[in-house]
Amino acid sequence: MELKLYVDRLSQPSRAILIFCKANGIEFEEVKILIGKMQHRSPEFAEINPMKQLPAIVHGDFKLFESHAILIYLASAFSGVADHWYPTDIYKRAKVHSVLDWHHSNLRRGSVGYLFNTRIALAFGLPLDPKASAEGEKLLSASLAMIESYWLEKDEPFLLGNSQPSIADLALVCEIMQLEVADEEDRDRILGPHKRIMKWIDDTKNATAPYFDEIHSMLPLAKEKLKELKVQASKQ
Amino acid sequence: MELKLYVDRLSQPSRAILIFCKANGIEFEEVKILIGKMQHRSPEFAEINPMKQLPAIVHGDFKLFESHAILIYLASAFSGVADHWYPTDIYKRAKVHSVLDWHHSNLRRGSVGYLFNTRIALAFGLPLDPKASAEGEKLLSASLAMIESYWLEKDEPFLLGNSQPSIADLALVCEIMQLEVADEEDRDRILGPHKRIMKWIDDTKNATAPYFDEIHSMLPLAKEKLKELKVQASKQ
């Protein structure tokens, strides 16, 4: 059955799915839906995902959206995926679900709230919102502190005291990588205090090499473009 | 193994878990953690859930939090649970995950944003925030419209065109039931246009009778208390 991934590498959950497929030898067609050109809001894409958000997949005639649901589906539908990505043990699996659910209202909400309102809004011709940005940063920083003090508390390299990554490591690390599009000083201020998280990002990168770097390779260019937009906006 | 549910019936995801256990004949001890008395913020409860949120469970020596993860775990760990609650078929299961993930950033976020800022904040001695309330109502109404036009689009009574409820029906309906603590006119304004949703609530209630009404029976009292607080606040 043919697998199509409807993604934009600028979208952090899109990257998690691309890396997951490549790291697990799952063949797919990458259908680029460019957020910057609002292609995800088109009537054609609404046929794939009525919520008009990325990522989405079509596998044979089965359509699915929501990145965590997609990662779980791919880990379950393709027999070659190693158990550590989505453990069959119900206790270990429950903990993976727990991190993924927590992610929605904490790390992801904070990260998106911060980045959209400090930078990404400009790409959509919207004004920046310093209050929403500050609220986003507060939640983002609290989430990073919780990852460091709780989810990564054990000596093993990955979340939940695991020696190998799960889909939760990939989802959360790709979210944090989005800070690459922020100013260096902002990124350093937010991530700098979290040495354990920096190590975890490296461990996840190494566990999925060379695909992690390959899929993230466009972030520096996106950062420069957003920087230009900020300079232009500050002149208006 | 002993199952303890750490819950407050005022919390919508707590109610979903209580109803799920009762409807499936799962024995448990209900450990009441009163949000109004800030018991969920205590160091003792942080030993159960370091995020200091409800609900959480302890099953034997296994601890778990995040309500969707809990519902999935309970449906998997107890052999008497009928398949429709959390289907083993990977396509059906993936769709249940998709609804649950969507819930986080849409219906739940809208509902909590609306209710906290129109009413519940008062119970914590915090001011109401009309702007945040309006944003919450906008997301809540858009989410209800999406449930009606997409998630419930088929002729069957439950989400995803199912003839019997899944854990997603329970999670989402319990969220919507929280509107019972709002003013009648507000609830009618928000829910009134959605006849299909009203029917779905009734179908979910009937499918889990008599437990649904039993677990929701304290909402009218909570509503009266919040109403009094609003009257008091308006006099200050």
Domain limits, chain B:
3-81, 85-235
Query: What is the structure's pLDDT at A133?
Result: 94
Among A69, A90, A102, whose Cβ lies nearest the Cβ of B73?
Answer: A90
The chain A residues in contact with chain B (CB within 8 A) are: 50-51, 62, 64-70, 72-73, 76-77, 90-91, 93-95, 97-98, 100-102, 104-105, 109, 146, 150
- Pairing relationship of beta strands B29-32 and A62-65 according to DSSP bridges: unpaired
A88 to chain B: closest CA residue: B76
Query: What is the structure's pLDDT at B226?
Result: 87
Among B68, B73, B66, which residue's Cα sits nearest to residue B28? B73
Strand order in the sheet with A62-65: A29-32, A3-7, A56-59, A62-65
Angstroms from A51 CA to nearest CA on chain B: 8
Of residues B125 and B83, more confidently modeled: B83
Average pLDDT, chain A: 95
Across the range B166-184, mean pLDDT stands at: 96
Q: Which of B53, B93, B105, B151 to mutate to test the interface with A (most CBs of A within 10 A)?
A: B105
- Cβ distance B98 to A62 less than 8 Å, yes or no, reads no
Radius of gyration of chain B (CA): 18
Angstroms from B228 CA to nearest CA on chain A: 31
* Rounded Cα gap, residues B15 and B167, in angstroms: 12
If pLDDT is split at 50, 70 and 90, which confidence band does A25 have? very high
Across the range B202-220, mean pLDDT stands at: 97
The reply to whether A85-235 shares the fold of A3-81 is no
Residue carrying structure tokens 């018991």: B39
The chain B residues in contact with chain A (CB within 8 A) are: 50-51, 62, 64-70, 72-73, 76-77, 90-91, 93-95, 97-98, 100-102, 104-105, 109, 146, 150
Angstroms from B65 CA to nearest CA on chain A: 6
Q: Is the pLDDT of residue A236 over 80?
A: no
Collect all residues of chain A within an 8 Å Cβ-Cβ radius of residue B51: 102, 146
Q: Taking the alpha carbons of A196, A108, B120, B151 in that order, is the dihedral positive or negative? A: negative
Query: What is the structure's pLDDT at B90?
Result: 97
Q: Chain A to chain B, count of Cβ pairs less than 8 Å apart? A: 74
Q: Per residue in A148-166, pLDDT tens?
A: 999 997 789 999 999 999 9
- Cβ distance A90 to B104 less than 8 Å, yes or no, reads no
Q: Which long-range contacts (CB under 8 A, 24 or more apart) does B32-35 make?
A: B32/B7, B32/B8, B33/B6, B33/B7, B33/B8, B34/B8, B35/B8, B35/B10, B35/B11
Class of the domain covering A85-235: mainly alpha
Query: What is the structure's pLDDT at B13?
Result: 98
Angstroms from B71 CA to nearest CA on chain A: 10
Angstroms from B220 CA to nearest CA on chain A: 28
| The CATH fold of domain B3-81 | Glutaredoxin (3.40.30)
Query: What is the structure's pLDDT at B43?
Result: 97
Collect all residues of chain A within an 8 Å Cβ-Cβ radius of residue B65: 98
Share of chain B above pLDDT 90, in %: 88
| ω into A165 cis (within 30 of 0) | no
- Cβ distance B76 to A97 less than 8 Å, yes or no, reads no
Q: Per residue in A170-183, pLDDT tens?
A: 999 999 999 999 98
Q: Which whole-number Å values give the CA distances from A105 to B10, B55, B173, in the listed order?
A: 20, 15, 19
Q: Per residue in A105-158, pLDDT tens?
A: 999 999 999 999 998 898 888 888 999 999 999 999 999 999 999 999 778 999
Q: Which amino acid is at A80?
A: G
Length in residues, chain B: 236
Of residues B153 and B57, more confidently modeled: B57
